[in-house]
């Protein structure tokens, strides 16, 4: 059925119509849209008008175009958070109404690297616990976590299968994380991590590197988290000064 004409530009009407069709489930997440020729004919518009609408929808991340393959409906993020809000992965999953889980991969206690000595202001004699885990939401893998903590900070009761390190440090080590310095960057397919997170070849990752500090401004946790970009969305509030 073609779109009904109104006073707005035709490409804006096409955008609204396609968004409505996606909301109604006519086109589902990760589903390939009809060809430009078929879609333009169905909507009763020119291919030039359709292309302008698709260009804007791609900018809004509603669709994704794969060169030589076609146009697909983008998956909506399950988890949205302001990057200025310091939340644990556990809290983010719980806030989305899902059940967090942990798949422990391995942990080892190592001598600090030069970068660790700078990060934690520790000595060469201090030991660093490095833990690698996969965090799940309703048993689906969504984040690959690498955490580094000075061994002297961890409680003796620390076990590898525990979920929120934030809660462990606060409840058992009496060290409350109050802020973090973060760096976020996009990453394409990762040979090791993407298969573990069950990513499609075209699914990107968002890498969040954070140095966490306690109430005394002491660095106590360095984390590198690989988030599935089709599941997580981070935004930031920027104010003019």
Domain ranges of the chain: 10-73, 79-235
Both tokens of residue 205?
């990752």
Second-level CATH architecture of 10-73: Orthogonal Bundle (1.10)
Q: What is the pLDDT of residues 147-196, one digit of tens each?
A: 999 999 987 766 655 567 888 888 888 899 999 999 999 998 899 999 99
Q: State the pLDDT at residue 67.
A: 80
Q: State the pLDDT at residue 185.
A: 92
> CB-based contacts of 8: which residues, under 8 Å, 6+ apart?
none
Q: What is the pLDDT of residues 182-223, one digit of tens each?
A: 999 999 889 999 999 999 887 889 999 999 999 999 999 999
Q: What is the pLDDT of residues 110-131, one digit of tens each?
A: 999 999 999 999 999 999 999 9
Average pLDDT value for the chain? 88
Rg of the chain's alpha carbons, rounded to an integer? 23
How, if at all, do strands 219-228 and 70-73 pair? unpaired
- Looking up tokens 């310091």, which residue turns up? 86
* pLDDT greater than 80 at residue 24: yes
Specify which residues 64 forms β-bridges with: 72
Both tokens of residue 162?
């525990």
Residue 153 carries which DSSP code?
G
Q: What DSSP string describes 5-74? A: P-SS-HHHHHHHHHHHHHHTTSS-TTPBPPPHHHHHHHHT--HHHHHHHHHHHHHTTSEEEETTTEEEEP
CATH 1.10.260.40 for the 79-235 domain, yes or no: no
Q: Rounded CA gap, 13 and 217, in Å?
A: 53
88 pLDDT band, cuts 50/70/90, is confident
């Amino acid at each position: 059925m073609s779109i009904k004409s109104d006073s707005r530009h035709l490409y804006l009407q096409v955008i609204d119509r396609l968004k409505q069709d996606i909301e109604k489930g006519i086109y589902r997440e990760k589903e390939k849209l009809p060809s430009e020729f078929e879609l333009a004919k169905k909507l009763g518009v020119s291919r030039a008008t359709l292309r302008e609408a698709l260009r804007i929808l791609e900018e809004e991340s509603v669709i994704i175009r794969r060169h030589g393959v076609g146009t697909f409906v983008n998956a909506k993020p399950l988890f949205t958070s302001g990057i200025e809000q310091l939340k644990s992965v556990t809290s983010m999953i719980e806030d989305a109404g899902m059940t967090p889980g942990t798949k422990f991969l391995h942990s080892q206690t190592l001598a600090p690297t030069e970068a660790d000595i700078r990060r934690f202001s520790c000595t060469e004699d201090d030991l660093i616990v490095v833990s690698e885990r996969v965090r799940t939401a309703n048993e689906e893998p969504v984040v690959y976590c690498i955490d580094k903590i000075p061994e002297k900070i961890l409680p003796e009761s620390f076990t590898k299968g525990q979920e929120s390190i934030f809660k462990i440090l606060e409840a058992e080590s009496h060290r409350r994380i109050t802020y973090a310095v973060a760096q976020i960057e996009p990453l394409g397919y990762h040979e090791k991590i993407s298969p573990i997170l069950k990513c499609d070849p075209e699914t990107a990752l968002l890498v969040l590197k954070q140095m966490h500090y306690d109430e005394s401004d002491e660095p106590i946790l360095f984390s590198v988290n690989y988030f599935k970009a089709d599941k997580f969305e981070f935004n930031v509030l920027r104010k003019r000064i």
